[in-house]
Amino acid sequence: MVSAIKESRGDKVFLVLVYLFLSAALLVVLYPLLYMISASISTPKFVNSGEMWLWPKGLTLDGYRLVFDNAKIWTGYGNTILYTAIGTLINLAITLPAAYALSRSDFYGRNLFMILILITMFFNGGLVPLYLVVKDLGLINSMWALILPVSVTVWNLIVARTFFQSTIPRELQEAAHIDGCTNLRLFVRIVLPLSAPIIAVMALFYGVMHWNSYFTALIYLNDESKYPLQMVLRQILVLQQMGSETNEALSSDMAAAAASKAEVASLVKYAVIIVSTLPVIAVYPFLQRYFVQGVMIGSVKG
């Protein structure tokens, strides 16, 4: 019977340091989440004064009630779901075929295409030329302005390409061709079913990108009925900041009204943050297994 390897004193010290570091990292990551949850169900005056720093104070659900009663927030929620769903489907429809084509050793000129694609990763025309292109295409104030300019990201393309190179054997492709399988049928019927990890990773990456995006909406959208949820949250934050600045400049009844409005905005702000992050938190556990596998294969091997 083989005895267990005895840990040296240095190993024990190292293990203790690892646990301390991981515990500190957990606290750093966990505290903001606990703070937001507590702030969303606490009375705003305790949050704004700093009396509430971890556990809820003055328990109230008015923030969530205001969120559920606010038509603008629900409109933004619906828009975000729509933009995320359509945008992610388009991202996958472009990224996966392109990555697979670039992973094929028999694809003539793939190195040249890869160099040209990599150049766009480090150099681009900038915000103003991009805006002019979107404007000339007639996409201003439409959801396509938020989706088409980010149809594919180079980093995700490289990760997916590396996955295909290291996971799909060339012998499998040759066997499929011998059986009369076309490239399109090979990709749809054989490659994609074997690529569940990288599909899940790409869907998560692109989905979170669309879900959290607000800057493109700020630039390209003028109609508030088309605003995503993050833009609605931004409006609430601006309203709270304006209310705080107004309190310093005004007095008496006007300042009191502005303070009340800022408190409501603060209450709604944390509730909206919690509501907006719930879908991502709910989806991640189902994709975690594929996420770890896909990232490790796609970024380390090859």
- Interval 269-284: pLDDT, tens: 788 788 878 887 777 7
Contacts by 184-193, CB closer than 8 A, 24 or more apart: 187/97, 187/100, 191/100, 191/164, 192/96
Among residues 117, 83, 295, the alpha carbon closest in space to that of 199 is found at 295
pLDDT band, residue 95 (cuts 50/70/90): very high
Q: How far apart are CA 192 and CA 90, in angstroms?
A: 16
| 246 has a pLDDT exceeding 70 | no
Stretch 114-132: mean pLDDT: 85
Which residue stretches of 70-149 are H helix? 71-103, 110-122, 127-136, 144-147
Average confidence score pLDDT of the chain: 80
Q: Kindly state the percentage of the chain with pLDDT values over 70.
A: 84
Across 94-108, 162-176, 219-233, 254-268, least confident range: 254-268
Residue with tokens 């969120």: 67
202 CB contacts (<8 Å, ≥6 apart)?
Answer: 91, 92, 95, 96, 156, 159, 160, 294
Among residues 235, 231, 223, the alpha carbon closest in space to that of 142 is found at 223
pLDDT at 4: 56
Among residues 44, 82, 88, 91, the alpha carbon closest in space to that of 63 is found at 44
pLDDT at 293: 62
Across 119-128, 194-203, 246-255, least confident range: 246-255
| 86 has a pLDDT exceeding 90 | yes
Q: Give tens-digit pLDDT for 33-57.
A: 888 888 888 877 777 777 777 788 8
Among residues 67, 72, 83, 73, the alpha carbon closest in space to that of 217 is found at 83
Query: Encoding tokens for residue 158?
Result: 């490289």
- Full-model pTM: 0.76
Q: How many residues does the chain have?
A: 302
Residue 179's identity, in one-letter code, is D
92: number of Cβ within 10 Å: 19
pLDDT at 249: 47
pLDDT band, residue 290 (cuts 50/70/90): low
